[in-house]
Chain A
Amino acid sequence: MSSNKDMDLLLKIWRQADANSKGELVDYNVTGISPDSSFLEMLDVLNEQLVEKGQEPVVFDHDCREGICGMCSLFINGEAHGPGDQITTCQLHMRSFNDGDTIYIEPFRATAMPVIKDLVVDRSSMDKIQQAGGYVSVNTSGNTQDANALPIPKADADAAFDAATCIGCGACIATCKNASAMLFLSAKVSQFALLPQGKVEAADRVKNMVRVMDEEGFGNCTNTGACEVECPKGISLDNIARMNREYLSASLAD
């Protein structure tokens, strides 16, 4: 697919001055991109070239640049976090593209995650879901119980751990044709519901988190499965089924 030759690319990037402005896709030619650079480094190079020309650099989210923080976003060539399985945008490398390619770079889109500027979206609606129940009320005042004193079946521990790898990036929402946050929410629910510490508050947790998700204006899941495919952490649809179970039995018990 790629050689070691530097690449020239045509980028179509969403530019938007602020939350209230109307944005548009703007064409940029970027030159001399190493196939070994990451996608975000490519944007850094573009921004340097823009600054040199006296233009405003493109604003985009990033932090750890090693796939753990969930801060990077971007909808690249029609896919959240671009092509490639189970990677974040910061883990995407330019060798996945070819010299002369045109690359569309858009912000994650959801009514509940509005654009703040250029490629940066406001994901605080996800934080609100988390705050509505994504925690356990355990005492950490110095007399906490030894974790190994609580026997947990290995399968449950593994499933809880897998769910806990969700980095809260929002790619599932961005990908879903309904802008549904169910994969994210279900990962947060499962991570606790499977463990004894989380079971105590399980019913209220799932009800409150779903309520806030609905209030924030996320869409309804229609089981297309797109989220699972695009999730950089491979969060399974099993979590959504589990969340549905938890939610339905919790709300029946009301």
Chain B
Amino acid sequence: MSPLKGFFNSSVARKFWMAITGLFLITFLLVHLGVNLVMFAGKDAFNQATHFMATNPLIQVMQYVLAAGFLVHIIMGIKLTMQNKAARSVGYAYENAAANSSWSSRNMIISGGLVLVFLILHMRNFFYEMKFTENIGTYTLDGVVLHNDFLLVSSLFTTWYYVVIYVLAFIALGIHLNHGFQSAFQSAGWKNSNWKGLMQTVGTVFSAIIAIGFSAIAIYFFLNPAQ
């Protein structure tokens, strides 16, 4: 076997890389939620926060790492699912899967797929608008030219169906994370029975914070449109 082949290309390695990229994406979610929460501090504070994110060199580098993390996680997830389907070419006539496992654990490709659809929409609505267009107005505050990203975000949240899609996507993400969080530790080999309960609890609380946190911001600005 060629050196390190097993570390990149084997069933155990694929799980490991799913886990590592998953945990990395989880930390990104926390940062993202943190920035979004600044919206509650008002327009200027939020625009300063996005200005920082758009100009800080470390964040700029991490953007590419993040994109790579997403790609690996998504491509490997699809590949794993295809291999796993092939591993049972003839299925059961009657399967009582609920007797031994949770829906969220069995349907990561569905919850993940929904998040991916949202992610594409999200990139178009925010990332593309913020980075590649001049559609967003600017203004100067304390000598710094700021993009009015606050206006872009808060105005999207005034559209009811966008808010519905947004909230549904974060429910799907919460379901995905509820299994994914503790699953990542198992795949990386960092789990045992002593830690199992705690990891599941932390994972569930974390999933709820992400799902409720992001949704709450959207709903708040829908109910209290910013001027």
Contact = CB atoms under 8 A, between A and B. Distances in A.
Residue among B5, B182, B188, B189 with the highest chain A CB neighbour number at 10 A: B189
A222 B87 contact: no
What does DSSP make chain A's interface, helix, strand, loop or mixed? mixed
Contacts, number: 163
B101 A225 contact: yes
Interface in A103-129: 104, 106, 109-112, 115
Contact-size category for B = 35 or more
A247 B16 CA distance: 10
Contact of B15 (A75, A78, A83, A244): A244
A217 B87 contact: yes
B95 interface: yes
A10 interface: no
Contacts of B192: 238, 241-242
A218 B92 CA distance: 17
B89 interface: yes
Contact of A241 (B10, B94, B191): B191
A111 B106 contact: no
Interface stretch (B48-56, B78-86, B166-174, B214-222): B78-86
A230 interface: yes
B11 A221 contact: yes
B4 A210 contact: no
A78 B7 contact: no
B156 interface: no
A47 interface: no
Contacts of A211: 1, 6, 10
Interface residues of A, number: 54
A17 to B, nearest CB: 15
Interface in B11-68: 11-16
A244 B94 contact: no
Contacts of A115: 90
A111 B87 contact: yes
Interface in A128-176: 175
A55 interface: no
A229 interface: yes
Contacts of A12: 93-94
Given A179-B84, A220-B14, A226-B100, 12 more contacts: A111-B89, A178-B84, A179-B88, A207-B6, A210-B12, A218-B87, A222-B108, A222-B183, A223-B183, A247-B6, A248-B7, A252-B7
Which 10 A/B pairs are nearest by Cβ-Cβ distance? A78-B96, A245-B189, A219-B87, A251-B6, A178-B84, A244-B189, A229-B100, A179-B87, A226-B100, A219-B84
Interface of A: 12, 14, 25, 75, 77-79, 83, 104, 106, 109-112, 115, 175, 177-180, 182, 207, 210-211, 213-214, 217-226, 229-230, 236-238, 240-248, 250-252, 254
